[in-house]
Amino acid sequence: MTTSTSATSSRLLRLIPPAVLAIVALLAPVLLPGDRWVRVAALALIYIALASGLNILVGLTGLLDLGFIAFFIVGAYTTAILTVRLFVDQLGFDPDSLWWLFPVSLVAALLLAGIAGAIIGYPTLRARGDYLAIMTLAFGEIVRIVSINWIDLTGGSVGIRNIPPFGVGSVELVSPAANYYVVLAMVVVILVALAGVVASPVGRAWVAIREDELVASSMGIRTRRYKLLAYVCGASIAGVTGVFFAHMQQFINPDSFTLEDNFIVLSLVILGGAGTYWGPVVGATLWIFFQAIARDWTIVQEHPEFRTGFLALIVIVLMILRPGGIVSRRLKLTRGSTPAETKPEGVIMPPVENVITPAADSVAPGTPVLVVDGVGRTFGGLTALGSVSFEVRRGEILGLMGPNGAGKSTLLNVLSGVTKPSRGTITFRGERIDGLESDRVSVRGIARTFQTVRLFWDMTVLENMLVGAHERLRGWVPAFALRLPRHRHDESAALAEAGILLEFAGVGERRNDRASSLSYDAQRRVEIARALMTRPSILLLDEPAAGMNESETRELASLITAIRDAGTDIVLIEHDMDLLMSVSDRIVVLDHGEVIASGTPDEVRREPAVLEAYLGSDA
């Protein structure tokens, strides 16, 4: 009862700031002194929407975009061309009768901007850093230049005038307050939809890609697809915003969209807090109102360029003093209930064996499930793996040992799809997997941990676990935006499963802590539990005991054995020979990229080739 009451109180406290903000937003036209400031507030809402869209790319997914205004241009010109050029100029409609065309323009702008986002997003998927920035900046300038030079369609530098105002039937919404409330409705819809998407598998996938793309892929996330989705979602928001902007202004031309605007919107994201929910709202509101106030300053009237200079100075100072931006509160990436004592309603808590072992797994013990045949890997002139062959059998822990540089980690990378083999085949349950990407290998039932702990440090333990459940939780973006009941139930079931695995791994009490706050031993256990969350048939462990003391290593050995006993086969790389020998059913020994011995721990101990590899030829 106490836990439930505490959780309810916590939720109510979290609702207070949004409630206050909503009241202020609703009363703004009444509270602000005159129409000028109402127009400023409406413009601030436009920039809130733009900054929120760009935040998907820059803040959530970690993709730098310096041409984001291009999608804004696409949306604005879509509605202007459709309404004025086509229906008024060509078809002879009365502008006052075209209020019904507004939703059509919204859909058209959303689709066209989304397509434009896919077009620019696809070739940039492999680009990073400066190259990505240059490509997006060039795209933005291309769109702006086209709007200047395609005179017959866009009106060139003159632009398109007489765009109908907002309206319903014969009632035109032309007053500053009416415009404000229409744009406010758009922003509310965008923010509510974003809240649903962020606290879903889509939002967790974006943040996982930003945190560690390789690990995200190893969890079954198709990173290229989700980066492209980020472009499409961000572009669609900008396109829709452009429609509202055009009807609010009733006029657009290329001067409405400058190169400078790209940097302003990016600065607003950084100013408010990139990767936060309320950061774009705070950054855009403060800057637009500050800009309006600064217009009355003599120095700004004499030197208008100072306004942008002030923004640049503020951003630089803020990055030094508060690198995370004004809003530092981290995103909540799940709406599910998280207290340890809470059992999700309607969710049956399965035993740990059913959680770890795939339901369809009925392979007889001792049957080969992973067959490695002649696998080699060459990097330039360096041969990391020569020709490695072995098999992993159902119900066993297979140890991989060898001196430093023997090729063990390279082999694990090849098995997990991180690195493709140069030759040979890998067959998992009768299916060739040697040509698959790591996300597809994960989906087929092979999970892994890394030599150095690689958690998503800005997520909680439970959010890390839900990334592991990504494949069975994924769905359509609109369904997550609408928070449909089926997805809420699936998330609750995944949270229950995560709780079971965390208890099994011995870190159940840390489920709500940030990953970065855990001890090293707890980080290792969470990493293992997250890998188990993918429901693998085979778990690849790369030196899990590295950095642990003796008692932690003993407890880890018990955990590894328990995982095997619960139904997951294990391939274990470990330099701690006592641990490796005590838990392994069979051991394969590598040296210089070749298998030099295999057998039971006792057989390997007596193998002369192994003694020579570890102790030298005189051993």
| pLDDT the model gives residue 346 | 47
Q: Which CATH class is domain 367-444+537-619?
A: alpha beta
**Distance between alpha carbon 486 and the CA centroid of its chain, in Å?**
22
Q: Are the C-beta atoms of residues 329 and 278 closer than 8 Å to each other?
A: yes
Instruction: Dig out the tokens for 12 from the structure.
Output: 């109510």
| pLDDT the model gives residue 349 | 46
* 530 CB neighbour count, 10 Å cutoff: 29
Alpha-carbon distance 97 to 167, whole Å? 9
pLDDT at 469 over 60: yes
| pLDDT the model gives residue 344 | 45
**Structural Rg of the chain based on CA atoms:** 29
Domain boundaries, given as residue ranges, for the chain: 11-259, 334-358+457-535, 367-444+537-619
Alpha-carbon distance 275 to 295, whole Å? 30
pLDDT at 292 over 80: yes
Please state, in angstroms and as integers, the Cα–Cα distance from residue 162 to each residue in 91, 94, 583, following that order.
15, 11, 78
* C-beta pairs of 219-222 under 8 Å, 24+ apart in sequence: 219/439, 219/442, 219/467, 219/468, 219/470, 219/530, 219/534, 220/439, 220/442, 220/443, 220/470, 220/471, 220/534, 221/439, 221/467, 221/470, 222/437, 222/439
CA 324-330-333 angle, to 5 degrees, is 145
- Residue 199's SS3 state is coil
Q: Are the C-beta atoms of residues 165 and 96 closer than 8 Å to each other?
A: no
Q: Are the C-beta atoms of residues 376 and 388 closer than 8 Å to each other?
A: yes
pLDDT at 22 over 60: yes
Instruction: Dig out the tokens for 9 from the structure.
Output: 């109180």
Residue 1 binned pLDDT confidence (cut-offs 50, 70, 90): very low
Alpha-carbon distance 197 to 474, whole Å? 11
CA 195-197-203 angle, to 5 degrees, is 110
* C-beta pairs of 341-350 under 8 Å, 24+ apart in sequence: 341/3, 342/3, 342/4, 342/7, 343/496, 344/492, 344/493, 344/495, 344/496, 345/492, 346/489, 346/492, 347/489, 347/492, 347/493, 347/496, 349/496, 349/500, 350/497, 350/500
* 252 CB neighbour count, 10 Å cutoff: 25
- Residue 446's SS3 state is strand
Range in 102-111, 312-321, 528-537 the model is least confident about: 312-321
Range in 54-58, 207-211, 310-314 the model is least confident about: 310-314
The string of DSSP letters for 472-488 reads HH---HHHHHHT-HHHH
Please say whether the structural domain 11-259 has been given the CATH code 2.60.40.
no
Give mean pLDDT, residues 316-336: 84
Instruction: Go through the chain and tell me how many residues it has.
Output: 619
pLDDT at 347 over 50: no
The string of DSSP letters for 405-440 reads TSSHHHHHHHHTTSS--SEEEEEETTEE-TTS-HHH
Range in 130-144, 145-159, 378-392, 537-551 the model is least confident about: 130-144
Helix axes 306-321, 259-272, angle to 10 degrees: 30
Mean confidence (pLDDT) of the chain:
88
The string of DSSP letters for 1-66 reads -HHHHHHHHHHHHHHHHHHHHHHHHHHHHHHSSSHHHHHHHHHHHHHHHHHHHHHIIIIII----S
